[in-house]
Structures are given as structure tokens and as C-alpha cells.
Structure 1
């Protein structure tokens, strides 16, 4: 309920959450996407309260969730936005499984510093590497853009996506960001009033119609594509490459290697000094989650999006 960062995750039905958690009993991943978006976080930070020494934001179900006007999604939008949520959720859980001591709060502290373009400490650099936080940032930005688009508010998306304050309160905001967030809240309040008027007339947009109203009829990363020309990656495999320290460079060099043809993770690791197999495998898994790389029978190749971009 009370936390520095407003983060939502999916849980298996076998998990029994305690009283300190807010649980939404829905199996629609598009709901996870919307509540994870900058749009909902802005609403919840404004509608919720504050608690504790750190004045952390408090999520109140009746004020933050029940009053929030979800976008009206068609079937393709529901599927697409749900896929963004699945990628985000999978990425975080995978990195925490790889690094059991890695905490979500630490990951999002680093994410906030990346958005603010602030330097990282050595400890934060380790969190950045373990959590692949640059990938986390790309996933959040992609999800945010999809949700803004669902509302039809791309003008605000261009002013807000990628800026700090997306998961935690930001006190010292630039004027343009503060004005854009104020406009966002104004539109959400107007939409809330519109939905309230509709409900008076009997038109309710249930999140779980099969449970809430079974007899009613419901109305209907960016990761940069490293399109390096083939001539730029014609380095001989026998020549050992240095494994970059920065995550962005690791992504770039692996994509360049995959441009030369499919390979297994050990084969790719062999091309680098000291054979960084674990690091190579982690980056490949992240690229797969973003559809930038595909794995079949332990062999990795470029994802469909990149393959299409370099096809003759």
C-alpha cells in the first residue's frame, strides 16, 4: 500500500498475499499494463495519500483504483497492451531469479536516476547490470506510449514519456513537465465524470463482466534497431572481441554478431575475451523478451523486426 515506487506485478493464483498488499483479481494483462503506466501512476499519486517518515505515497484502493477511468480498448489494443505488460513482468522476474538479492526498489531507484540523467554509484552500476535497467526503461517507455495511444493522448506522450517521476513523486519538476502532468490529470478527471454520467444511465464498463455482471452484454523498446550494415560486422570470428562494460554497448555488439548469422550462446560468448557466457545469455534473454532475438533449439538469431529491417 505504501511504497516509494508505484510498481505492479502479476501473481500466481496459488500465492496468498498479506494485508499489506493491494490485489486486483483479474487475469487480463491489459489491466496490469494500464495500472503500470505513467497515466495511472500520475492519477494514484494525486488521489492517494502520504505516510511515514519518508512521506511515501500510499495507494488507496477506493480512491486510486475504483475511481480511475480505464481506456476503452478494442480487441487488438487489449492484446497488444497486454503483451507489453507481459514483457515487463517477465523481464523483472527473470532478473530477480538470476540475482536473488536484487530488489525492485533498487531497480527503480536506478531507473529514476537514468531518467534524470544522473551518474550512478558503484552499487547502482551493479544493480543496473544485474537488473538490465536500460531494458527496463525501454519496456516502460513502450508500455507508456501504447497506453497514451489507447486514450488518444499522444500529444501528452511526447511531453512525458522517458522523464523522471513516472513511478515515484517528483517535487522539482521542469515547468513543461508540470504543465503536461496537470493537463493529464485534467483529462482523467473529465473522463471520470463522463464515466460516472454513463453509469447513471446504466452503461458500466466492467473489468470482470463474467463475474461482476454475467448477464449483461459488454460493449465492445523502443530499443534502437541497430541496423548496422553487414560490412561493419565482417570481423573474423577468430578475432576475440572485448566484452563492453556498458549494457547499451553489450546489446549493440550482440546484435552485430547476430547479423552475421545464427549462433548458440556459447558460440557467441567464445567470440569475446574471457568468454562471458552468463552475461551474453542474460542480454540474449532480454532481447528475446523484446522480440529483438529468437531462440530455437539453443540457437539464437535476429528477431523478426530486425531481420525485416535488413532484408534486401
Structure 2
């Protein structure tokens, strides 16, 4: 709302004028300086980017584990999250592979008391050598539905690899969601406003236990089913690279050597 409209809420406006305005007027971001009474930037560019694609990929900028998840297009992430404007399971799978994780760990910075890795798009995402035909340039556009997975609009030659990665990624995501929100533990309530995702409410008898079910806790434990799902995804991505000799025993050093070779070849 405008400053004039906001001032009609007299007491809150007085509080914001006294406490918030002094912290905003010297900020570099123009929107925050000129709209100091507003809670935050509505991010119009991000909203335009995600409009119509249904969902997009996001990852926390600083985290112990490099995990990616989906957000509905209606939900704008916090400022310390990285938004990747793709709606297909193939891109999700490549990003969640061992190969991208190793690359991002090798080129990231570290922050915080726990020295957690910081995912910096310019050095980790933009430099990562995606499999041929499945790069961000190739997967730009609306996703194409096929069966239970969402495929990117790539050339026909790359569809088998795209589908294999997408299927493995969709299975990984489904298994994780079933663990995070078991059907018998929660109720899904339609949102009041149409077009928004359902609210997930814990049943009272499971509320305490459900609070412990976070992606961080899941990856700290890394149960066998999660490890197996990731290994299946890694194998599908490795085949997209043409690495027929890949196995889970391949060293991190060898994987990074191959990725660097591909990165250097494409930069020429």
C-alpha cells in the first residue's frame, strides 16, 4: 500500500516511522529506501519469472547439506534462498546429484559457526557443466508433462536421459515428502484463497514428532532408503554424461576432474 494508506493505521505507522525508517533510508536498494513502511520488497521480477510454471526449485544459500526442494509459484522464498526458475524434474535431479554437490562444495565459500557451505550462484550454478543437451539454456521454457514426471523441452536425442533423471528425481522427492509428512500424521486443508497450495496440519497426537522431521535431520541420519534413492539418481545423471564406467565407488577427485575437463572444453 502507499504511504498515505499505511498512515491510516496510526499506531503501527508511528512505530514503523520511529523504529524502521531510520534503518531503511540509507540502504543501497532503492525500493527499501523509498518504501520504508513496507515489510519487504515484493520481488516483481521473481514473480514474473515464476508466473505460469506452477513450481520452481529452491535451495538455502547457507546449509550443512546441499538440498533442493520445490516451492509453488505463489510462495516467494526468503532472501537467503536461491531460486532456480525451472519446473522440470530433470533439472531438479541434476542439481541434486552427487556431481553438482561436489562441484558446489569445491567452489563455494563457508559461513557461520558451523562453517557451513554457502551456495553462490555465480560460482557454483553458473559454472557447473550440465550434461550435454540438458543445460539451463536447453531446458528453458515450459515443462512438458509425461506420465508422473515433468520433462524439460529438450531435443528428442536427449529425452531418454532426461526421462531417466526425472523419474529418479521424482522418486527421491516423493520418498522424502512421505517421510516429512506421513499421510497418517497430517491433514491437508484447502487454503482459503483459491490457487494457493493446501495447508499441512499435524494431527495433535503426532505434532511433537512431526516437528523433528526436517530435511536437515533426515540428511543427518541418511537412512538406507534415502542413500539408495540418491545412488539411483546419480547413476541416471552419470549416464547422461556418457560415463558408462560410473559407480558409487568412483572417487570425488575423479568426478571433479571430469567435470573440470568438461567445463574447460565448453569455455573455449
1:25 matched to 2:122? The reply is no
Q: 1:50·1:56 contact (CA, 8 Å) conserved in 2?
A: yes
What residue is the counterpart of 2:257 in the other structure?
186
Instruction: State the alpha-carbon separation in 2 of the partners of residues 43 and 7 from structure 1.
Output: 14
Structure 1 residues without counterparts, runs of 5 or longer: 112-132, 161-179, 198-312
Q: Is the 8 A contact 1:34 1:147 kept in 2?
A: yes
Q: TM-score, normalising length from structure 2?
A: 0.56
Structure 1 segment 133-144 matched on structure 2, within 5 A = 133-144=223-234
Q: Cα distance, 1:90 vs. partner?
A: 1.5
CA contact (8 A) 2:110 2:118 kept: yes
Instruction: Decide which structure has greater helix share.
Output: 1
The whole-number CA distance in structure 1 between the counterparts of 2:237 and 2:220 is 23
Q: 2:111, 2:245 → 1: CA distance?
A: 33
Q: Distance in 1 between matches of 2:248 and 2:67?
A: 22
Matches within 5 A, 1:146-161: 146-160=236-250
Query: Runs of 4 or more off by more than 6 Å in structure 1?
Result: none
- Aligned equivalents of 1:51 and 1:157: distance in 2? 32
Aligned residues: 157
Aligned pair 1:66/2:150, yes or no? no
Offset of residue 156 of structure 1:
4.0
Residue in structure 2 matched with residue 39 of structure 1 by the alignment? 99
Of 182, 185, 195, the residue aligned with 2:266 is 195
**How is 1:6-155 mapped onto 2 (pairs within 5 angstroms)?**
6-73=66-133, 74-98=158-182, 100-101=210-211, 102-111=213-222, 133-155=223-245
- Change in Cα spacing, 1:158 to 1:92, as seen in structure 2 (3 Å) is closer
Give the 3-state SS of the residue equivalent to 1:14 in structure 2: coil
Q: How far does the alpha carbon of each residue in 1:93-123 deviate from its partner, in whole angstroms, 9 at most, with x for none?
A: 2221126320111110111xxxxxxxxxxxx
Aligned residue runs from structure 1 range 160-309, under 5 A: 160=250, 180-197=251-268
The structure with the greater share of residues assigned to strand is: 2
- Equivalent residues of 2:235, 2:246 under 8 A apart: no
SS of the residue corresponding to residue 99 of structure 2 reads helix
Distance 1:108 1:92 in 2: 10
Shift in CA distance, 41/61, structure 1 to aligned 2, threshold 3 Å: same
Inter-partner Cα distance in structure 2 for 1:138 and 1:109: 15
TM-score w.r.t. the length of structure 1 is 0.48
- 1:201-252 CA-partner distances (Å, limit 9, x unpaired): xxxxxxxxxxxxxxxxxxxxxxxxxxxxxxxxxxxxxxxxxxxxxxxxxxxx
Retained in 2: the 8 A contact 1:69–1:192?
Answer: yes
User: Deviation per CA, 1:56-81, whole angstroms, max 9, x where unpaired?
Assistant: 11110110000001002411111121
The question of whether the paired residues in 2 share the 8 Å contact of 1:145 and 1:154 is answered with no
